[in-house]
């Protein structure tokens, strides 16, 4: 997400912008969850306005006829594409990692997750339909900013420069919620002795896992300055799908009285995750496996030291 912020805001200096974005988000997060939520609302407003602008602009553009019988379409191709963009649906799970910072999490979180997922799915579907019916399918893969192309093709072409700004803000909003979510995961793992126990400390004044936050920020800054955007997306796809597969398998292992939803949902989720991860390009699989093995090794070392 940090690299994407840089790619939209200033393509020629994307790493510099990415570093600044991470530090800015950290500055917001150390103020506590209340400040994070407040800033997120404003970023969400800008994001929603940008997407609405794209959809409205598409209504005045010439319609592209989508050929769903195109021989280039295939089940493996659809699965591979779904696997690559799966990370775009992963944000709603961050809601669960903030359980100890909300009132009545056993009631609030099970209600928030499906609502968030449904809302995001509707938004994605509307925007996707606007894009594929406005920009020729043969042009889309080569477009660095497809949403900008939609506006340029419509009757609001003069507002096209606003799209990169809105996209950068949208990615910053995702980053703003990812960092505290991941840091809470680090906190939980440290408490279970799966990461160094020193990361289990919670700052008494701010009420946040400051050490875990600093560790996550340091790791993100290293990645931002060492890998490119496409590689990060591919590896993220493998990691997130593996994480969700494990989560679905864990749901199946839960006692019946602890389950919220029918186990068939977890079965579908598990099979879907495995199918998507196996459909990814070999390079993405290799990168993802190496990353996961590094994590397993770090966990083993931490458990032995603890």
Q: What per-residue confidence (pLDDT) applies to 61?
A: 63
Angle at 258 between CA 92 and CA 100, to 5 degrees: 50
Per the listing, tokens 């906190």 go with: 187
- How does pLDDT run across 55-103, given as a tens digit for each residue? 888 887 666 555 556 656 778 888 888 887 887 777 666 677 666 666 7
Q: What per-residue confidence (pLDDT) applies to 64?
A: 57
The torsion angles phi and psi of 280, rounded to 5 degrees, stand at: -70, 155
Question: Beta-carbon neighbour count of residue 247 at 10 Å?
Answer: 15
Residue numbers in the chain where pLDDT is lower than 50: none
What are the angstrom distances between the C-alpha of 145 and each of 8, 41, 152, 231? 8, 24, 11, 18
Q: What per-residue confidence (pLDDT) applies to 145?
A: 72
Q: What per-residue confidence (pLDDT) applies to 70?
A: 63
264, 251 Cβ separation under 8 angstroms: no
Cα–Cα distance between 295 and 214 in angstroms, integer? 18
Cα–Cα distance between 147 and 123 in angstroms, integer? 14
206, 26 Cβ separation under 8 angstroms: no
Q: What per-residue confidence (pLDDT) applies to 98?
A: 63
3, 132 Cβ separation under 8 angstroms: no
């Amino acid at each position: 997400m940090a690299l994407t912020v840089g790619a939209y805001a200033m393509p020629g200096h994307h790493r510099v912008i990415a570093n600044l974005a991470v530090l800015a988000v950290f500055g917001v997060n150390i103020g506590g969850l209340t400040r994070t939520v407040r800033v997120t609302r404003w970023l969400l407003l800008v994001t929603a306005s940008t997407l609405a602008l794209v959809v409205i602009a598409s209504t005045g553009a010439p319609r592209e006829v989508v050929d769903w019988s195109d021989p280039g379409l295939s089940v493996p191709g659809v699965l591979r594409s779904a696997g690559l963009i799966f990370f775009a649906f992963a944000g709603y799970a961050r809601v669960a990692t903030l359980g100890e910072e909300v009132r009545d999490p056993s009631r609030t979180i099970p209600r928030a997750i499906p609502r968030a997922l449904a809302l995001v799915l509707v938004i994605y579907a509307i925007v996707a339909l606007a894009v594929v019916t406005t920009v020729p399918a043969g042009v889309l893969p080569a477009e660095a900013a497809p949403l900008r192309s939609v506006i340029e093709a419509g009757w609001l072409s003069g507002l096209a420069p606003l799209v990169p700004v809105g996209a950068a803000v949208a990615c910053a909003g995702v980053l703003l919620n990812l960092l505290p979510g991941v840091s809470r995961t680090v906190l939980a793992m440290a408490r279970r002795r799966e990461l160094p126990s020193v990361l289990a400390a919670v700052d008494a004044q701010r009420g946040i896992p400051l050490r875990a936050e600093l560790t996550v920020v340091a790791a993100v800054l290293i990645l931002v300055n060492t890998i490119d955007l496409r590689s990060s997306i591919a590896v993220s796809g493998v990691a997130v799908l593996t994480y969700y597969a494990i989560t679905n398998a864990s749901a199946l292992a839960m006692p019946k009285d602890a389950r919220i939803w029918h186990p068939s949902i977890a079965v579908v989720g598990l099979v879907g995750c495995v199918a998507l991860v196996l459909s990814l390009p070999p390079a993405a699989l290799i990168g993802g496996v190496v990353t996961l093995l590094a994590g397993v090794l770090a966990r083993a070392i931490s458990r032995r030291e603890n």
